[in-house]
Structure 1
Amino acid sequence: MFQVGDEVFLKSILNSTETVTRARVQSLDPNYLVGGTEIGPEWREVNVQVPIKKMKT
């Protein structure tokens, strides 16, 4: 289980073995709004600490 403050490593949606950033869990609240929509029980609010992989534009 995650707790607020835990360090997490986020993976690429295109390559699940590739770590793209290091972040900290900010909230576990499923009612937190993103774009006017609740994130729900399976999602977490995070704060990106260190980007690891440069995004292609």
Structure 2
Amino acid sequence: MNKSKVGILTLNYEIFKMKLEEDIKTMFDRFTIIINGLKSCGKTYPNEEVVRKMLQSLPKS
């Protein structure tokens, strides 16, 4: 994979938030695509960090 794809996926991971119109499943699917894309490029995050990121992405309500 090229550096620009890794950069885009990393940015998408870092700024990831649940969209207003999304349900949990749709958000999780979108998040999984980002994580799997990063993994296929050789970039991984510890499970604890991924779980924390997912929880922080949920709306306050």
For the aligned pair, the TM-score class normalised by the smaller chain equals under 0.3
**TM-score, normalised on structure 2?**
0.25
Higher share of residues assigned strand: 1
Relative to its length, the structure with more helix (as a share) is: 2
Greater RCO, 1 or 2 (C-alpha within 8 Å, sep 6+): 2
Q: Which is greater in Rg?
A: 1
Please report the TM-score for the alignment, with normalisation by the length of structure 1: 0.26
